[in-house]
Amino acid sequence: MVKHALSGVLRGSPARALHARCRSACSRASARTVIAVPVTGVLLAVILALGLHVNLSASAPRGLYRTVTGRPTQGTWVVACVSPQSAALARARGYLGSGPCAGGVQPVLKPVVAAAGDVVEIGPEAVTINGRRLLSSSTAASDSRGRGLPHVAWGRYVVAAGQVWLVSTRVPNSWDSRYLGPISTAQVWSVAQPVWTVD
């Protein structure tokens, strides 16, 4: 009796109406998904074709950047790969996502603070470039999870030809030359110019 009663409810017109509304809503949702996937793919293809890259890291203003050829000089933003040794640490700790750089990690977007001939002085409290102290440039002893952070030896460095130092002072936990040391210009993919940023 209960079985027959339930069968009657399921076959009744309210159930049919509910089913129809659900099917209609699901169809619209599926259509939106089907449309959204190609549109997103096309948008990404256009962005890449224009030489644009999206930055979501807080170490640089978030937004769109155009990659261009040029020398990485002081004050420019660059897209660069970290060394294989640093990449191994980045993968193990989740500092960088998967990407095409050596070690299978993504490149970083950082500003060049020193190039060939510049003098870098680094200590626990600050980084100084040619006698000018960078704001908010202290070196952290540990990361956000309390794990010890390897860093370059404190001291004075004259930047050699074919090297740059990358330091971002936008956020206190930027993983840059304070921990990585100088970056070879061979590891620099391109100069990056902001096109549209939100912060």
Res 171 pLDDT > 90 = no
pLDDT computed for residue 38 by the predictor: 61
First to last CA, the chain: 66
What average pLDDT does the segment 57-69 reach? Answer: 93
Domain ranges of the chain: 2-49, 53-197
Instruction: Kindly report the pTM of this predicted structure.
Output: 0.76
Res 22 pLDDT > 90 = no
Q: What does each C-alpha distance from 83 to 31, 43, 90, 118, 187 come to in angstroms?
A: 45, 32, 10, 21, 8
What average pLDDT does the segment 28-44 reach? Answer: 52
Looking at domain 53-197, which of 2.30.40.10, 2.10.109.10, 3.30.365.10, 3.40.50.720 is its CATH number?
2.10.109.10
pLDDT computed for residue 40 by the predictor: 62
Res 108 pLDDT > 80 = yes
